Amino acid sequence: MHITATIVFVALFVLIAVLGFLSARWQRGDLGHLHEWGLGGRRFGNWITWFLIGGDLYTAYTFVAVPALVFGAGALGFFALPYTVLVYPLVFSVLPRLWVIAKHHNFITAADFVAARYDSPALALVIALTGIVATMPYIALQLVGVEVVIGGLGFPSHGIVGELPLIIAFVVLAAFTYTSGLRAPASIAVVKDLLVYITVLALIIVVPWKLGGFGKIFAAVPAEHLYLPPIHSGNFGTQSFYLTLALGSALALMLYPHATTAVLSAKGPKTLRRNWIFLPAYSFVLGLIALLGYMAYAANLPDNPALAPYFHRYGPQFAMPGLLLRYFPDYFVGIGFAAVAIGALVPAAIMSIAAANLFTRNIYRAYLRPDCDARRETQMAKLVSLMVKFGALLFILLLPTHFAIQLQLLGGILILQTLPAIVSGIYTRWFDPRALLIAWAIALGWAIWAASLTGFQKSGYALHFFGWTIPGYIGLYALLLNFLFAILITLLLRAIGRHSSADLTDAAAYQE
């Protein structure tokens, strides 16, 4: 046991727990209404929105997984950088517009918008279900980061003693989310980001100094780890997969329910646009985080006798925690590990709230209790948020970690298939809802089949086209298939005079 590190870790965890419970009194509102509990009353200003969206999109799994991917797979891990650069122009043009429409109609979720825009409860239902299914393993994966750092503190990895810290962490998360709603992760995000910045800057300064500089670090890494393989013999190889993975991930990120929830909680579209200008600062930090994978490689951490058991247990995912244990005193290890754990709780809280909003608005209220009042609706959302967290905890406790990772890969592929209905609906009412529904089912079926070819171990599919082999991200290929069928079926319905143009939204909202 690293006693000093554990004391610092627990102290910081207690601090954010107290902050989470006190958040119920911040920007007072009636938490018996879903827009107050689940969206913070749509009153978050520039700074809080910046921390909330950043804390929402840059999760603990990012801090652990990106260095792990660079450590294990090399240059491919840097796809996260163009992906986070690409996402901001996309969301700058799409999400502020969605905020205006949602505010005008008092929508809580993207599925609310789809239901009204296309007058199609069935289409809204599949959008809601897709969002919930994609979010569940994503919450579970936040626990992977927590598990790694708890193990790094010296707790046993098996048995009730090993699982107890994880269970306590999620019980606390469930409690303050239940009482404070979105205000809790919004306030905690500030502490989380400060800890992350301190930890990353310390790592990026101290570790290269200890290793003799960046020149020696890159010299220690093999060329095949530093560069993507070249295109040859009609095979684009990793090059095309890198490109499609970056673009597909950028498109998927803005569609996740937790991203929508964070966006709709902002004070207004100007707040969002200002944030999209400054949020690329996180991309700079992410680039530094990715370099930690090369530092861990150059330091040859798996061969260190003190760290070898951790790498045997957690594999490349221990690259970033291993650097902390190898080169920093125990008190700073506690700070860095707390940054990872708190970085898991913030997005996990937002994700559980987002999934609860979807279930309550688009399943419970739409199909089970259409006559429920505001307080009953909010109470149901609170209960569902607890169930979602409990389900995510079971993922980690009962299933192998790699199984949750496989489901999360599939989750990204699934959530991409909601893009035609949501994003196209923001700009046009040309598509027929039945065409969107059928195209969603076809694309989803193909995507699951393509992922099953690798046993759900990978997210790539090799497309053979006129003698060329073009490996690419399954989610992006499925999205192209989705759009193709949506266009063709809409054209067919228009040609036979069966096109549906019903729209329950106010045209004035699109002009604001």
Contact 297, 225 (CB under 8 A): yes
Q: What pLDDT does 119 receive?
A: 94
Q: What pLDDT does 379 receive?
A: 92
Q: Which residues of 353-381 are buried (b: 16+ CB within 10 A; e: fewer)?
A: bbbbbbbbbbbbbbeeeeeeeeeebbbbb
Residue 212: CB partners within 8 Å, gap ≥ 6? none
Give me the long-range contacts of 479-484 (CB less than 8 A, separation at least 24). Answer: 479/248, 479/251, 479/416, 479/417, 479/419, 479/420, 479/443, 481/439, 481/442, 481/443, 481/446, 482/417, 482/419, 482/420, 482/439, 482/440, 482/442, 482/443, 483/420, 483/439, 484/439
Token representation of residue 216: 């020696």
Q: What are phi and psi of 268, to 5 degrees?
A: 180, 175
Q: What pLDDT does 160 receive?
A: 65
Token representation of residue 139: 């919450």
Q: Where are the alpha helices (DSSP H) in 417-458?
A: 419-427, 433-452
Determine the residue type at 427.
Y
Domains of the chain: 3-232+244-386 (1.20.1730.10)
How many C-beta neighbours within 10 Å does residue 227 have?
11
How many C-beta neighbours within 10 Å does residue 208 have?
17
Contact 295, 130 (CB under 8 A): no
Q: What pLDDT does 496 receive?
A: 94
Cα distance between residue 5 and residue 18, in whole Å: 20
Q: What pLDDT does 191 receive?
A: 87
SS3 122: helix
Contact 37, 181 (CB under 8 A): yes
Determine the residue type at 294.
Y
DSSP assignment, residue 496? T
Q: What pLDDT does 403 receive?
A: 57
pLDDT (tens place) for every residue of the chain, 512 residues total? 789 999 999 999 889 888 888 886 776 667 788 888 888 888 888 888 888 887 777 777 778 888 888 998 888 888 888 888 888 888 888 889 999 999 999 999 999 999 999 999 999 999 999 999 888 888 877 877 788 888 888 887 666 666 777 788 778 888 888 888 888 888 888 888 889 889 999 999 999 999 999 999 999 999 888 888 877 766 777 888 888 988 998 898 889 999 899 899 999 888 888 888 887 778 888 888 899 999 999 999 999 898 998 888 888 888 999 999 999 999 999 999 999 888 888 888 899 999 999 999 999 999 988 888 888 999 999 999 988 888 877 777 776 665 555 666 778 899 999 999 999 999 999 999 999 999 999 999 999 999 888 887 788 888 887 778 888 999 999 999 999 999 999 999 999 999 998 999 998 898 86
Cα distance between residue 54 and residue 258, in whole Å: 12
Contact 432, 500 (CB under 8 A): yes
pTM: 0.91
